[in-house]
């Protein structure tokens, strides 16, 4: 099976390396020249619990010319349309596209480029850190929930889950993956955004009473808006999920902190808290916390990325 990883940052490299080591043919796709050149010359360096060099094939999306069996989307949310446009030539009627992006609203974007029967939506709690070009740091364990959005394609969804499990990625075929996607978005909408704004670890945030109060208020907004969209969300269960995640990731700076504070890159806030604010407007649901958090992140982007 030929698998493309569309967006080969930290998570894309993790999945690509594990699938490669499980015997799949994997091609990484990315647009970062230093990253591409380093992996071509030296292989992908993996550090953490197990230090190793993994020889990987990597290229820019427009350079790929073989039709893939499976394309796993790991690009940043704001780059998704451009990525899908650039990989049209490596998709045909049998190609499956698995989306594992953070945030909300990606299914509708993908449908503009990919037939519905070919789309598999998913969510993962695996983590990874991009140390530098061609170098990722891996720690802890994780899992994946996936589902074919066309019920008639469930058999292929199960097959993709089996391939992921052969790579020890702990995949589950979910009969309703949308609540899991919203729960993960809620984790990002509390930990990612607040830690990026406050320049703190997850543990530091959750150790403060005002921080915890904000977390609970954000969860309430996510659940209200999700329920209005018809998503099966229970506020107590989502809160429990967020709290448990905060314990296991207490010493971690989340990805939005890495992007904005550490590397001065634009964030995915418009697809997390910003998405909840937009969907809330559609249902006449007020989302004051998500509104102001989105504004504050954009303000911080202006300060750190676009200095006058």
178 three-state secondary structure: helix
For residue 102, how far is the Cα from the chain centroid? Answer: 3
Annotated catalytic residue 184: yes
Burial class (CB in 10 A: 0-12, 13-18, 19+), 244: exposed
Taking Cα atoms as reference points, which of 101, 141, 142, 108 lies closest to residue 122?
101
What number of helices (H) and strands (E) belong to the chain?
13, 12
Cβ atoms of residues 303 and 275 within 8 Å: no
Cβ atoms of residues 1 and 163 within 8 Å: yes
User: What's phi and psi for 121, nearest 5 deg?
Assistant: -95, 150
Cβ atoms of residues 215 and 270 within 8 Å: no
For residue 144, how far is the Cα from the chain centroid? Answer: 11
Count of Cβ atoms closer than 10 Å to residue 228 Cβ: 14
> Which residue is catalytic, options 184, 232, 244, 300?
184
User: What CA–CA distance (Å, rounded) separates 156 from 116?
Assistant: 13
**How does DSSP classify residue 56?**
-
Which residues are catalytically annotated? Answer: 184
């Amino acid at each position: 099976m030929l698998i493309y990883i569309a967006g080969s940052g930290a998570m894309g490299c993790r999945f690509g390396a594990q699938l490669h080591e499980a015997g799949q043919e994997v091609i990484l796709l990315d647009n970062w020249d230093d990253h591409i050149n380093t992996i071509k010359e030296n292989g992908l360096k993996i550090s953490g619990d197990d230090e190793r060099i993994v020889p990987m094939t990597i290229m820019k999306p427009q350079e790929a010319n073989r039709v893939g069996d499976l394309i796993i989307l790991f690009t940043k949310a704001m780059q998704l349309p451009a990525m899908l446009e650039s990989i049209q030539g490596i998709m045909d009627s049998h190609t499956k596209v698995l989306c594992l992006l953070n945030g909300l609203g990606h299914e509708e974007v993908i449908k503009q480029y990919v037939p519905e029967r070919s789309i598999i939506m998913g969510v993962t709690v695996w983590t990874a850190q991009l140390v530098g070009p061609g170098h990722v740091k891996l720690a802890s364990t994780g899992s994946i929930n996936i589902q074919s959005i066309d019920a008639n394609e469930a058999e292929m969804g199960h097959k993709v889950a089996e391939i992921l499990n052969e790579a020890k990625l702990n995949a589950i075929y979910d009969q309703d993956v949308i609540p899991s996607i919203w729960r993960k978005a809620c984790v990002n909408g509390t930990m990612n955004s607040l830690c990026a704004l406050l320049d703190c670890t997850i543990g530091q945030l959750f150790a403060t009473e005002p921080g915890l109060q904000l977390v609970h208020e954000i969860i309430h907004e996510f659940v209200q808006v999700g329920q209005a969209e018809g998503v099966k969300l229970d506020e107590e269960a989502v809160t429990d999920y967020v709290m448990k995640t905060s314990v296991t990731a207490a010493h971690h700076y989340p990805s939005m902190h890495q992007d904005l504070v550490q590397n001065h890159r634009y964030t995915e806030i418009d697809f997390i808290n910003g998405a909840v604010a937009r969907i809330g407007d559609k249902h006449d649901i007020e989302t004051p916390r998500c509104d102001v958090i989105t504004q504050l992140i954009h303000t911080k982007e202006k300060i750190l990325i676009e200095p006058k």
